[in-house]
């Protein structure tokens, strides 16, 4: 490498000195690079952006609401949203669009919050609609909602800390001294780096009652006062006592929310008026249309969105004779009309994210609110002490007002007035300043006597405030009183109701059309499903050049299909998922239809209606595994299962049996045997290696076939009573096997 020359001053006039080591490459561990460059960003996202704090707000929410408070929008008329967004940029440098999106979600018009903090006018979109976009900020107007007053009560009484904004031109609060646990009253969702937060909303009255109960008794039973989540969109929560307790205790878990609906007999129409908070009208409509087109949903003739100024409404016209109860039960299972809401109560406490249950969150909020009340009391105490101190000085002037006037009048220099009053009456500088600033018209005994009447009141107030500071019980009493006021002023009935549904315990009725079909599978992986009528009226099977049929099975349209690949994976499907076709078409290419991995090929197919029986896996090394077919049942709708069989030896054959039967094994070394599958123990794991059935000194298994009634007599000499066995050989035997199995 050529030696790096020092740059000339004339070429780079802004560089005053040669930078040592510039242009050199240094080795550094990737972990060190990530720690220096990525960790600060990750921590910033966690602490300053995505995770809410104990007051219930993220920094973006707090900056917006505080700006509106400083603009005087707690009272008075609304102002243009663009004006609010512009003012907020003094605290939030992330751009106007991000600020306005935050504002939209906090607004009454968007209907995303149980208790919106912004009173809006204009089109703010809807939380339940994907396509209903909000209007631009220049068209909408907003002000703070009345409940926002609870966020800023006593914010100017040193209840919370203030920090400089990003350019040090002003300050902003680090938290709001909110008088109720807003962290649990309004839902909050955030995705940070390596963690997330998902806090659902609860009814304000229930939260206030629960907080009061926990203050009075930290061991109080939460479920006595807090029934469960409450959402602005209403709906029904399918109540699960164990899951609810888990959420209350740990902050993690989930619950199901079901839409609210009614049936209009006159129009033969189902009207859905409330949906889960995780769903949108458009997503529900699209899913229903898709299911109807695929033939998986019967009885629906039309679906439309009738949402208007009166609120959400999805109308579903049903065909005559369709049972609306059964149809809705089906829709709840296959669409977002019933959906799960996951809970992850991750809250920042002192800058550290913590996942907490309801009890712990309310305990932390109470501690936070206790500190706010103490700081407010201390602030008011100092103000009253300062005023009392001034009035003490005024009290001394009452003894001789004329003397005070004479001192002021006889003093030649203005700067000497305060020192002379201090000397003349024995008061300190602060008291003297206060006396000197009194207007001449107020230097009468009546004014001074009236002011001095406040002394007794101030002394009583100071004593009371000092008692409060010295007693946690009295501070808690203040918090309880304020919670009671909030509940009385802003509490509202529950919107989300509870149902105790037992329908999930009932077996789901299979609505798949049931009729006989014949399925065909080819060596290259093509699949056809043909009805008997079509098969009778058809000609020769159309196959790809060089392809051959490997499976021809008569079954029905409700049968389940298990497609085993050459990579020990099984792909599950149903006959109903394939369209009825004809012999004149190639059929569906299974690796493409079911999304096989790149280069993965189909090995074999197993058909079952009830997952009864066993699968016999025969491997080249002479081992055979017997696995119960019901081990491939999945509770969820999983389409792909890994480790479907052992990969330690190449697979020769998969045989589905209902009862124990006899199977012929033959090796390429000329050895053969027949064994009964009853000799094999049923294995619990699908990818078991199996047990040795044929002992191979050389060669490998090349054939595995079930012994039928037609072949049993000729194979009688090959039956073994114990395994493993070396088998039997001979050319005559080989010829018999080749003849019987068309080899």
- pLDDT tens digits for range 8-44: 544 444 444 555 666 677 788 888 888 888 888 888 8
Among 132, 148, 177, identify where a domain stops.
177
Question: Which is it for strands 236-238 and 497-499: parallel, antiparallel or unpaired?
Answer: parallel
pLDDT digits (tens, 9 = 90+) for 626-643: 999 988 988 766 788 999
Q: What was the pLDDT predicted at 441?
A: 74
Q: What was the pLDDT predicted at 251?
A: 93
Res. 173: pLDDT tops 90: yes
Assign 4 a pLDDT band (cuts: 50, 70, 90).
very low
Higher pLDDT, 6 or 602: 602
599 and 626 inside one domain: no
Number of H helices, E strands in the chain: 22, 32
Assign 2 a pLDDT band (cuts: 50, 70, 90).
very low
Q: Is residue 25 part of a domain?
A: no
Instruction: Tell me if the pTM is above 0.75.
Output: no
Q: Is residue 355 part of a domain?
A: no
Q: Is residue 13 part of a domain?
A: no
Q: What was the pLDDT predicted at 10?
A: 46
Q: Is residue 454 part of a domain?
A: yes
162 and 63 inside one domain: yes
Q: Is residue 737 part of a domain?
A: yes
Q: How far apart are the first and last CA of the chain?
A: 71
Question: Which is it for strands 526-530 and 588-589: parallel, antiparallel or unpaired?
Answer: antiparallel
61 and 154 inside one domain: yes
Assign 736 a pLDDT band (cuts: 50, 70, 90).
low
477 and 538 inside one domain: no
| Percent of the chain predicted with pLDDT > 70 | 93
Q: Is residue 42 part of a domain?
A: no
61 and 134 inside one domain: yes
- The CATH code of the domain that includes 729 is 2.120.10.90
Contacts of 209 (CB under 8 A, 6+ apart): 225, 226, 487
598 and 620 inside one domain: no
| Percent of the chain predicted with pLDDT > 90 | 58
Assign 259 a pLDDT band (cuts: 50, 70, 90).
very high
467 and 576 inside one domain: no
- The CATH code of the domain that includes 447 is 1.10.268.10
Q: What was the pLDDT predicted at 382?
A: 94
Region of poorest pLDDT, from 7-11, 589-593, 633-637, 671-675? 7-11
Q: Is residue 210 part of a domain?
A: no
Contacts of 520 (CB under 8 A, 6+ apart): 527, 528, 530, 541, 549, 551, 552, 587
516 and 565 inside one domain: yes
116 and 93 inside one domain: yes
Res. 462: pLDDT tops 90: yes
Structural domain total, the chain = 5
- For residue 141, the SS3 value is strand
pLDDT digits (tens, 9 = 90+) for 511-533: 667 789 999 999 999 999 998 88
> Reduced to 3 DSSP states, what percent helix, strand and coil does the chain have, rounded to the nearest 5?
35, 20, 40
599 and 620 inside one domain: no
Say which of 139, 166, 302, 515 is annotated catalytic. 139
Among 145, 177, 209, identify where a domain stops.
177
Domain that holds residue 83: 57-177
User: What mean pLDDT value characterizes the chain?
Assistant: 88
600 and 625 inside one domain: no
Q: What was the pLDDT predicted at 502?
A: 55
Inter-CA distances, 498 with 200, 255, 328, 341, 495, Å: 16, 11, 18, 15, 10
Res. 538: pLDDT tops 80: no
Q: What was the pLDDT predicted at 298?
A: 82
Higher pLDDT, 707 or 478: 478
Nearest-Å Rg of the Cα atoms of the chain is 40
Q: Is residue 71 part of a domain?
A: yes
Q: What was the pLDDT predicted at 12?
A: 45
Strand arrangement, sheet containing 118-121: 79-80, 141-144, 118-121
Higher pLDDT, 635 or 276: 276
Neighbours of 53 (CB within 10 A): 22
Note whether 164 and 171 are within 8 A (CB): yes
Q: What was the pLDDT predicted at 20?
A: 61
Strand extents, DSSP E, 210-359 = 236-238, 252-258, 260-264, 269-274, 300-305, 314-318, 338-344, 346-349, 352-355
Q: What was the pLDDT predicted at 53?
A: 94
Query: In three state form, how does the secondary structure of 542-584 look?
Result: CCCCCCCEEEEEEEECCCEEEEEECCCCEEEEEHHHCCCCCCC
Contacts of 492 (CB under 8 A, 6+ apart): 203, 204, 205
DSSP 675: E
Q: What are phi and psi of 692, to 5 degrees?
A: -70, 125
Q: Is-catalytic flag, 41? A: no
66 and 173 inside one domain: yes
């Amino acid at each position: 490498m050529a030696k790096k020359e020092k740059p000339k001053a004339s070429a780079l006039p802004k560089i005053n000195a040669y930078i040592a080591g510039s242009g050199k490459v240094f080795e550094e561990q990737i972990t060190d690079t990530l720690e220096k460059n990525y960790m600060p960003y990750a921590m910033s996202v966690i602490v300053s952006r995505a995770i809410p704090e104990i007051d219930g707000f993220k920094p973006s929410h707090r900056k917006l609401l505080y700006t509106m408070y400083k603009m005087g929008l707690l009272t008075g008329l609304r102002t243009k949203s663009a004006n609010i967004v512009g003012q907020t940029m003094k605290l939030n440098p992330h751009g106007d669009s991000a600020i306005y999106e935050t504002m939209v979600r906090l607004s009454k018009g968007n209907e995303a919050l149980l208790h919106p903090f912004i009173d809006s006018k204009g089109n703010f979109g809807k939380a339940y609609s994907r396509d209903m976009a909000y209007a631009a900020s220049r068209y909408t107007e907003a002000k703070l909602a009345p409940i926002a007053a609870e966020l800023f009560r006593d914010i100017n009484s040193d209840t919370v800390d203030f920090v400089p904004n990003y350019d040090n031109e002003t300050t902003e609060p680090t938290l709001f001294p909110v008088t109720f646990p807003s962290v649990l009253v309004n839902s909050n969702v955030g995705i940070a780096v390596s963690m997330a937060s998902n806090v659902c909303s609860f009814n304000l009255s229930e939260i206030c009652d629960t907080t009061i109960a926990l203050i009075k008794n930290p061991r109080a039973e939460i479920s006595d006062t807090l029934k469960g989540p409450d959402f602005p969109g209403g709906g029904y929560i399918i109540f699960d006592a164990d899951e609810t307790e888990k959420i209350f205790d740990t902050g993690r878990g989930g619950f199901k929310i079901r839409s609210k609906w009614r049936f209009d007999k006159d129009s033969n129409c189902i009207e859905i008026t409330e949906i889960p908070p995780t769903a949108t009208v458009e997503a529900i409509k699209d899913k229903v249309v898709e299911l109807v087109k695929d033939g998986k949903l019967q009885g629906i003739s039309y679906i439309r969105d009738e949402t208007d100024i009166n609120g959400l409404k999805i109308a579903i016209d049903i065909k005559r004779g369709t049972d609306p109860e059964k149809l809705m039960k089906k829709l709840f299972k296959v669409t977002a009309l019933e959906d799960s809401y996951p809970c992850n109560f991750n809250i920042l406490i002192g800058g550290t994210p913590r996942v907490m249950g309801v009890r712990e969150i309310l305990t932390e909020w109470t501690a936070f609110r206790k500190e706010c009340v103490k700081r407010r009391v201390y602030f008011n105490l100092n103000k009253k002490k300062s005023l009392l101190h001034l009035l003490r000085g005024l009290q001394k002037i009452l003894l001789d007002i004329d003397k005070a006037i004479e001192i002021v009048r006889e003093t030649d220099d203005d700067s000497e007035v305060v020192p002379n009053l201090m000397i003349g009456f024995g008061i300190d500088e602060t008291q003297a300043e206060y006396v000197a600033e009194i207007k001449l018209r107020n230097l009468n005994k009546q004014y001074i006597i009236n002011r001095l009447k406040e002394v007794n009141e101030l002394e009583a107030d100071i004593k009371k405030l000092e008692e409060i500071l010295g007693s946690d019980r009295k501070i808690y009493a203040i918090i309880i009183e304020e919670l009671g006021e909030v509940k009385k002023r802003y509490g509202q009935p529950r919107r989300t109701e509870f149902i105790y549904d037992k329908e999930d315990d009932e077996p789901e009725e299979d609505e798949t059309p049931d009729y006989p079909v014949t399925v065909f599978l080819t060596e290259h992986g093509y699949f056809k499903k043909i009805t008997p009528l079509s098969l009778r009226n058809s000609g020769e099977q159309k196959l790809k050049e060089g392809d051959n049929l490997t499976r021809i099975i008569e079954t029905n349209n409700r049968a389940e299909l298990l497609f085993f690949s050459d990579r020990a994976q099984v792909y599950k499907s149903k006959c109903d998922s394939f369209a009825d076709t004809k012999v004149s078409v190639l059929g569906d290419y299974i690796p493409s239809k079911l999304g096989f991995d790149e280069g993965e090929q189909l090995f074999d197919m197993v058909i079952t209606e009830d997952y009864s029986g066993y699968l016999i896996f025969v491997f080249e090394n002479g081992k055979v595994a017997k696995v119960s077919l019901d081990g491939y049942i999945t509770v969820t709708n999983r389409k792909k299962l890994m480790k479907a069989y052992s990969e330690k030896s190449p697979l020769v054959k998969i045989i589905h049996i209902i009862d124990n039967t006899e199977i012929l094994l033959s090796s390429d070394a000329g050895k053969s045997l027949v064994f009964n599958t009853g000799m094999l123990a049923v294995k619990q794991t699908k990818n078991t290696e199996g047990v040795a059935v044929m002992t191979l000194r050389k060669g490998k298994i090349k054939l595995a076939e079930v012994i039928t009634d037609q072949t049993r007599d000729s194979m009688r000499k090959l039956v073994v009573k114990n395994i493993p066995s070396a088998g039997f050989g001979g050319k005559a035997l080989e010829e018999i096997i080749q003849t019987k199995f068309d080899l």
